[in-house]
Every structure is written in C-alpha cells, then in structure tokens.
Amino acid sequence: MCIARGGAMLVEDARQHDLFSQNPLVIGEPNIRSYLGIPIASESGALLGTLCVIDRQPRAFSRDQIPALRVLAELAEQCITTHARTLDLSRANASLRELNRLFKQAETAANIGSWRVDLVHDTLRWSDQVYAIHGLDPAQPVTVEDAIGFYTPEDRGIVQQALLDALDRGEPFQFEANVRVRRGDGETRRGARSASGSMSMTGPKASPGLP
C-alpha cells in the first residue's frame, strides 16, 4: 500500500485498519501492529519496495519521525544505485576483456600488431603481437625513439617524416611503405608496413624522440 501511494504511510494499529486487519502478517506471525514506511525507488524512478519500522505493539508514530526515516530511505536508494552501477561496470569490464582476448587471437592469427602513439606526451603502447614481430619481451618498455630506431637507417626517415607531418598538422596520419626492420635478436626483415590513426592534440605539441 505504501508503494501504491508513493509516499509515507503510518498505521497505528493494523488490527483496527480497514486495509490490514485481515492481513496474514497481522493476524499471524510476525503479528504486526504498527507500521511506518517510506517508499524506495530506483535511479530511474521505479518503486522497488519500502524502508519501514514495525512494532508488535500499537504505536502512535509521529509525522515528525518521517523526515528521519526518509533520510535513511535515501541512503538505501543510494546503496542500491551504487550496487547496480557496480554490476553494470563489472559486466562491461567482462565484455571488454572478452573483446580484448578475441582481438589478441586475431592479431596472432594474422601476424599483425596494433600500437598507439601519443605525440603530445611522447609515449608509445604496443600490443603483444607487435612485441612478437620485433622479437622483444612484452615487459620491455618501448619509447617512440626506440620504435623508430628499429627501422634501418636507410628507411628510418620515412617513419620520422610521417610522424612529424601528423604532429605538425594535428590530423590523422597515414604510413605505408616497404621497409626493413631490425628485430631484437639482431635479424633484419623486410616487409610491408602500413599504419593509420587519429590524433587528439590536447596539450602543447611535443616532437617525438628522433635518433
């Protein structure tokens, strides 16, 4: 009834109340006599239940007690909302982990890697497969300067220029060439290299480290 009304409800003696006198919880255990309840709603406004105070003895609850109970009801709503958001975040993280697993499988099967370069802060992030292509341990940190240095001196300028052009324009960059790369084990391999990406310039421009 409290939920249906959408507001506070006071019952001094349920045995004398037209709506509750024959309620099983009144005529039997727990033998409710008095009741004060506040509805609890979800973040979307859907009514979920009530926060209530009950007594086995008739009690003349005062309307002055409603604000205090309403504060507790609001705290309960906040806890429910936080729990729901935590569950949503947990499900989203699980989906992201699964997508990442599938992405890594696709990279391994195709023998391609992905990377992200931040030209503003001069940082670089490689996927595990890029490390494998370069014959390096994924635990080894790699800078922009290191990445450019893996290309042979004859081909290094192509990569340098592509990065500098993207930095100067602040626009998406494109890079495609047949170049030679020196792996971590010393082996030099020639192959087609292509890259494309977008840039977000949120700070002062910083030049990538160049050897």
Residues 23 and 32: their CA atoms lie apart, in Å, by 9
DSSP 198: -
Q: What is the pLDDT of residue 29?
A: 92
Catalogue all structural domains in the chain, each as residue range(s) with its CATH number. Answer: 2-88 (3.30.450.40), 112-197 (3.30.450.20)
Residues 80 and 93: their CA atoms lie apart, in Å, by 20
Q: What is the pLDDT of residue 194?
A: 61
Provide the whole-model pTM: 0.52
User: What is the token pair recorded at 74?
Assistant: 């609001």
Q: Does residue 130 surpass a pLDDT of 70? A: yes
Q: Name the burial class of residue 90, with classes exposed (0-12), middle (13-18) and buried (19+) by CB atoms within 10 angstroms of its CB.
A: exposed
**Model confidence at 7, in pLDDT bands (50, 70, 90)?**
confident
Determine the straight-line distance between the first and last CA of the chain, rounded to whole angstroms: 76
3-class SS at 12? coil
**What pLDDT digit, counting tens, does each position of 142-176 carry?**
888 888 888 888 888 888 887 777 777 766 666 67
Q: What is the pLDDT of residue 201?
A: 47
**What pLDDT digit, counting tens, does each position of 113-127 carry?**
777 777 667 778 888
Q: What are residue 30's phi and psi, to 5 degrees?
A: -90, 20
Q: What is the pLDDT of residue 117?
A: 75
Look at the alpha carbons of 149, 151, 152, 158 in this order and tell me if their dihedral is positive or negative: negative
Q: Does residue 199 surpass a pLDDT of 70? A: no
Q: Does residue 99 surpass a pLDDT of 70? A: yes
**Model confidence at 1, in pLDDT bands (50, 70, 90)?**
low
141 against 207, higher pLDDT: 141
